Structure 1
Amino acid sequence: MEGYNSLGTPVNSHGQPPDLGKDIATTNQVKTEIAASENQELYGQNRETYGDRATQESLYPTTKSTDADLAPAVDFNGYQLYASSKPVPEELLREPSGTSIAPPSSVLDEENMRTYAVHETGRYFLPNDPAEQDRLDLQHKIFKIAMNGALYRAPIGSPKNVLDIATGTGIWAIQFAKEHPESNVIGTDLSLIQPLGVVDNVQFFREDSEHTEWNYPTPFDYIHLRCVLTCFDDHRTVIRKSFDNLSSGGWIELSDPVFHPQSDDGTFQGSNLERMFQSLHQAMVAMGRSFEAAQNYKKWLIEAGFVDVVEEVAPWPEAFEGYAGRYYGTLGYTVYGRKP
């Protein structure tokens, strides 16, 4: 396994300098937007952690649009996004900037102008190019809105060693490391697309968490997974490995959306939207994945040996329902449990 820490120093074996002949992403171009994201968090509970740039800014557009007045804007990578009745915000239709190109070792193929992750055994089918990285960052932003600014729900205290599986752009790992300077944070993914030079207590590695053995020298106090419905053939494999690599009393937390939209007035039933989600479920099954995994997280944690397992099922916070729902209109499951 190989990777680099957030200051750009190449490492392998979870912290050791690599062989110079190995392919390390030392020349990887990085997303400058993520590196500056500490000043773009409008909804963080600890505003002093992220800076107070947003406190003096207007959170509303100057137009008279009634759609825009529904809720404050989201500052997403420098773009102000407002709730709108348009199907896709115009800001998200821009051409990829190419500022975060995956290194050659992380690219399997290019199809329809999109690049995809490579790994000997991994079957992740979503892209890893700049457009996808922007989507992942927006996804993180929306989860923070849904969680009232929090990065996690489990009562973890001050964990010394933290693992973020399927870290994506690394945005969660980086923000967690800033909130917890006492923690050593590792983020793993099939693609080395994470930014460099952000904080010194984060390291990133390319790893297939499901199909390869974990060789961490020290157990973790907290393992985090978010939006991993599309990542694994069998989530139970990763859950079992997490249990084996947690210290006694350590926590695991999984958060995922639920792709079974519901309506209070019954208007969803029989609609084109319902038929679209039915087709989406069928397509996922055909690709060897399932949108039903999140509903099984609690059962799988208990079967693996976790105790004090808590399952939280909730809609968007009421103040942001119409706003956040325009961008990510689903309910979400958060499940966490402790190793005895």
Structure 2
Amino acid sequence: MDKHNRQRYYASEQYPLPADEKETARLDSQHRVYFKLFGNRLSLAPLELKSGDRVLESAAGTGIWALEFFEANKKNGIILDIDCIDISDEQFAKQHPPNIHLTLRPVTDLPAGWTSRFSYAHQRLLVSAVDHSVWSKVASELFRVISPGGWIEMAEVQLKSYDYDVGPFSKKLQSLMLTMFADNGSVLDVATFIPPLLEKTGFVNVRSEVRQAFTGRAGENGFRVDERGSLFRGLKRNVMRAGGYGVVKTEEEYEELVRGAELEWHDHLDKTSVLLYTFWARKP
């Protein structure tokens, strides 16, 4: 069996990407891309945390951000309590400090007892998993659980900024992805959507930074070609469930499309890119 056609494990009907070892490796690598592009910073918000403060990581995934954030603060003598939430624990690190807690829970339904619990909440890349109509609930729940004076930070991809069109295969794949995201109700333009959403929810001092992440073999200024290919292969289930959107008819055709796009990207290193945003705001 072709290595790309092996059965993938999906933990949720709602979340479009797998929850297996291959996706775990991609998520951890993606974390390093964000970290490097944003100046080797785990957080952009002007935090003044102290020992005993509680931090929330929403959509924790592998938990790599929480683990590194905990250790970075520990080196400065600050011991935090970090609650990580996700709809699956399949990818979460098995070994972690006792101050890091994982709860299987969506961000749209946080415990009543968490009201004003956290000094800081961090969330990354929920845009492809949440319908645009659900975002107001996401923001309101995060607002509720953050203590007055606390900060929220959201890192997202600008889906409409996909610029992977350097040949016939990648052009077709890019069009297919944008069609799929729109069909799934994803927010294609986070740059104009999230800041007013945060302000409407009650947050103040809304700020953002953006970086352009290129696709190159070494991943020096963004993602490696194989990482981009892995992302799109992970989305195959959603594409095929929708009948291929008139672009592909079979899984084999989809795999051929991704392989062709990867070859085109290899021939045009650092000519394709996507915009990554980080937004942060304070609860008054």
Same fold per TM (> 0.5)? Answer: yes
Q: Note the 1:215-254 alignment, pairs <5 A.
A: 215-217=112-114, 219-233=117-131, 234-254=134-154
Larger Rg: 1
Deviation per CA, 1:105-132: give whole Å up to 9, x if none.
xxxxxx96111114xxx72121111111
Q: Distance in 2 between matches of 1:251 and 1:95?
A: 43
Kept in 2, the 8 Å contact 1:260–1:277? The answer is no
Q: Which of 168, 182, 189 is the matching residue for 1:292? A: 189
Kept in 2, the 8 Å contact 1:162–1:183? The answer is yes
Which residue of 2 is the match for residue 116 of structure 1?
A: 10
Kept in 1, the 8 Å contact 2:160–2:178? The answer is no
Which residue of 2 is the match for residue 201 of structure 1?
A: 99
Change (3 A) 1:269 1:298: farther
Amino acid at match of 1:219: R
In the TM superposition, residue 270 of structure 1 has moved relative to its aligned partner by 9.5
Amino acid at match of 1:257: V
Q: Note the 1:38-57 alignment, pairs <5 A.
A: none
Q: Give the secondary-structure state (helix, strand or coil) at the position aligned to 1:115.
A: coil
Q: Which of 261, 275, 281 is the matching residue for 1:331? A: 275
Kept in 2, the 8 Å contact 1:178–1:199? The answer is no
Which residue of 2 is the match for residue 108 of structure 1?
A: none
Kept in 1, the 8 Å contact 2:33–2:222? The answer is no
Change (3 A) 1:321 1:196: closer
Q: Give the secondary-structure state (helix, strand or coil) at the position aligned to 2:15.
A: coil
Kept in 2, the 8 Å contact 1:251–1:336? The answer is yes
In the TM superposition, residue 136 of structure 1 has moved relative to its aligned partner by 0.7
Quote the RMSD (CA, aligned, Å). Answer: 3.0
Which residue of 1 is the match for residue 24 of structure 2?
A: 133
Larger helix fraction of residues: 2
Q: Give the secondary-structure state (helix, strand or coil) at the position aligned to 1:330.
A: strand
Which residue of 1 is the match for residue 59 of structure 2?
A: 166
Kept in 2, the 8 Å contact 1:309–1:336? The answer is yes
TM-score by length of 2: 0.70
Q: Distance in 1 between matches of 2:181 and 2:212?
A: 23
Q: Give the secondary-structure state (helix, strand or coil) at the position aligned to 2:281.
A: strand
Q: Give the secondary-structure state (helix, strand or coil) at the position aligned to 2:147.
A: strand
Q: Distance in 1 between matches of 2:3 and 2:97?
A: 29
In the TM superposition, residue 250 of structure 1 has moved relative to its aligned partner by 0.5
Q: Distance in 2 between matches of 1:123 and 1:303?
A: 27
Q: Distance in 2 between matches of 1:185 and 1:251?
A: 14
Change (3 A) 1:312 1:326: closer
Change (3 A) 1:316 1:165: same
Q: Distance in 2 between matches of 1:115 and 1:268?
A: 29
Q: Distance in 2 between matches of 1:139 and 1:158?
A: 26
Q: Give the secondary-structure state (helix, strand or coil) at the position aligned to 1:334.
A: strand
Change (3 A) 1:230 1:326: closer
Change (3 A) 1:186 1:280: same
1:186 correspondence with 2:83: yes
In the TM superposition, residue 321 of structure 1 has moved relative to its aligned partner by 10
Kept in 2, the 8 Å contact 1:295–1:333? The answer is no
Amino acid at match of 1:232: V
- Segments of structure 2 that go 5 or more residues without pairing to the other structure are 229-272
TM-score by length of 1: 0.59
In the TM superposition, residue 281 of structure 1 has moved relative to its aligned partner by 1.1
Q: Distance in 2 between matches of 1:145 and 1:251?
A: 22
In the TM superposition, residue 176 of structure 1 has moved relative to its aligned partner by 0.7
Which residue of 1 is the match for residue 259 of structure 2?
A: none
- Segments of structure 1 that go 5 or more residues without pairing to the other structure are 1-93, 97-110
Q: How many residues matched?
A: 224
Q: Distance in 2 between matches of 1:291 and 1:262?
A: 10
Q: Which of 180, 183, 204 is the matching residue for 1:283? A: 180
In the TM superposition, residue 198 of structure 1 has moved relative to its aligned partner by 2.6
